[in-house]
Structures are given as C-alpha cells and as structure tokens.
Amino acid sequence: MTVLADPALAADARRERRFFLSLSLPALFIVGLAAILPIAWIIRQSFLTTGGEYTVGNYEKVLSSGLTWSALVTTLELSLGTLAICILLGTPLALALASARPRVANLLMAFVMLPLWTSILVRTYGWLVLLRREGLINAALTGSGLTAEPLPLVYNFTGTLIGMVHYMLPLFLLPVYAAMRDIDANLVRASASMGATLGQTIRTVILPLSAGGIVSGSLIVFIYTIGFFITPAVLGGGKVNPLSIRIERTLSTFQDWGSASVLGILLLVLMALIGVMFLAARRLLARNKFGAAHA
C-alpha cells in the first residue's frame, strides 16, 4: 500500500477496506452458526444434567469409566496404526511417482485420486465384500491353500485398520509426492556421482528433503483418523470402539447428552495436543533446514 497524504483519499481507502471486510461476513456468520456455536454448545452441555442444571458429574462419570480409557487407547491405536502403515506404503509410492515420467506419473495420480472421489460408504462396502468370511480375499487364500481356514479379516480391528489406511493413503501421499517432486534432481545426481549407493541417497538426500511433506501428511492422517466414525462403525462390527463410536452410543443408545459432550471434549483436547506436537515438529524441521544451509 502506498502512503496516502490526502485525508479524503485515506478515508476512501478505509471505507473500501470496510466494504471488503463486510464481504466475508455472511460466510463467517454461517461458520459461526454451524461450526463454532455447536462446539461451544458441546462445552456447555458437558456441564449440564439431563434436567438442565449445572454439574461436574458428567466429567466424574466419564473420566472414571474404564470404557472411556479403552476408547482413548483404541482411538490412538487406530490413528498410530494407520499413520505407520501410510508412512510405510506411501513413502515408497511417492518415490515411485516422483521418479516416473510426467505422463506416467499423471496417470498413476489419477488412479490414486479415484478412491478419493468415491464415497466413503462405497469404499466401506467394497471392503466388506472383499474381506468377509466368504469374501474374495478369503476365497483366494483358502483356494490357493495358503490358509486352511478363512481368516477373520473384517468386523474387527484388522478390518477397521484396512479401511482407514485405504481412506488415508491418497491424502497422505499428496504432500509427500509434492515434496519429493520439488527435490532438485541435481542433488540426487551429485550424490550418485560421488559414489553414494541408491540406499544411501534415499536415506541421506531424498528422505531428509521430503521430511516436511511427511510431517504434513502425518498431520492430515491424524486430523482425519482421530474422529473417524463410518469405518469403525461398519468394519469394526461393534468390536472396535474408539471415542467417536462411544460418543454415538452414549448419545443414541443411552440418551446421555452430558457424557457424550464430555467425550467430545476429550476428542477436542486430543486434537489440540496433536496440533501442538506437530507445530513443534515443524519448527524443529525448519531449524534443521536453516542450520544445514549454514553448515
């Protein structure tokens, strides 16, 4: 912005700024109404009895229940498990995509995006069909004689984890692939010409340079998986009970709004903690990069 000497012009600029600010008000109003207010309402509800009086009883009840803590553990197990598998599968996949010719890479990216564009319910249904006792995978396993009995692949933790990895892998892949594609190919060439093996180059050049993408991808995985509902509800078969499922059950089966709200707040706190952890990780990475540039 230029400095405006004329007061009339300055007033004009102020008026224009106010006008532009007002343009975002309708959208902000809707967000306030349908996102901020509901969260505030959850906090309020967590301190109310069914009769509408103030209480901390909901917190005592929920925090002293073993079910809450096992739900918390299940939530973390699902999130960390999904994250670990996404890193193991997604990083080599991103490397393959980044090293492919542009045309091939674009085609493969389209395949990666396809599940992203399919409804979560369609995909969950697909996994049910594949993983059932009489499903395609068990038929292949028993038919080929690899296993004598069909494996329990769905309506349990394994099935839920498979469904969640399938949902998250494309979303994890995107930032990692973007980071790897941005790596200067000359660095890899330099590393190779100085005698580093492929493994050494991946370990010391490619992975450190794509660490930022991996951290972003991990954050995305956490944000999504921490409150996952559909996948555990369908593929868990009632045996996998993370916080999201406990919230639903407390609300619809027990009609206990207060306790459901406390569980919701637990989820919010968990998210905040993870957010702080990732900010710290990103800062650490930024500092390392800065240090490396000056080394």
Partner 1 sequence: MLEAYPDNRLARILLWSFCALAMAFLMLPTLVVVPLSFSASDLLEFPPRAYSLRWYENFFGSATWMAGLRTSLILGTLTATLAVPLALLACISINRIGGRTALAIQGALLTPSIVPGILLAIGLFFVLAAQRLVGTLFGVLVGHVVLAIPVACIVLLPALARFDWNQVQAARSLGANWARAIGGIIVPQLQISLLSATLMAFLTSLDESVISIFVASGQNSTLPKLMFLSLRDQIDPTIAAISTLWTVIVLVAVLIVTLRKKS
Report if residue 295 touches partner 1, rule: CB under 8 A: no
Report if residue 234 touches partner 1, rule: CB under 8 A: yes
Site for partner 1 in 86-115 (CB under 8 A): 89, 92-93, 95-99, 108, 111-112, 114-115
The residue count for the chain: 295
Q: Which is nearer to partner 1, 179 or 291 (CB)?
A: 179
Site for partner 1 in 158-217 (CB under 8 A): 166, 169-170, 180, 183, 185, 188-189, 191-193, 198, 201, 206
Report if residue 126 touches partner 1, rule: CB under 8 A: yes
- Write 59-68 long-range contacts (CB < 8 A, 24+): 59/262, 61/259, 61/262, 62/259, 62/262, 62/263, 62/266, 63/262, 67/241, 67/246, 68/246, 68/263, 68/266
Neighbours of 15 (CB within 10 A): 10
Whether 90 and 169 have beta carbons less than 8 Å apart is answered as yes
Q: Which is nearer to partner 1, 26 or 145 (CB)?
A: 26
Count of residues binding partner 1 (CB under 8 A)?
87
Which of 10, 13, 36, 284 touches partner 1 (CB under 8 A)? 36
Report if residue 30 touches partner 1, rule: CB under 8 A: yes
DSSP for residue 32: I
| Residue 228 identity | F
Report if residue 286 touches partner 1, rule: CB under 8 A: no
Tokens read off for 77: 């197990």
Report if residue 261 touches partner 1, rule: CB under 8 A: yes
Q: How far apart are CA 129 and CA 265, in angstroms?
A: 35
Report if residue 54 touches partner 1, rule: CB under 8 A: no
**Which candidate, 228, 293, 295, 230, places its Cα nearest to that of 267?**
228
Which of 9, 136, 273, 286 touches partner 1 (CB under 8 A)? 136
Whether 83 and 75 have beta carbons less than 8 Å apart is answered as no
Binding segment for partner 1 (CB under 8 A), chosen from 57-65, 143-151, 230-238, 280-288, is 230-238
Which of 5, 34, 146, 295 touches partner 1 (CB under 8 A)? 34
Report if residue 80 touches partner 1, rule: CB under 8 A: no
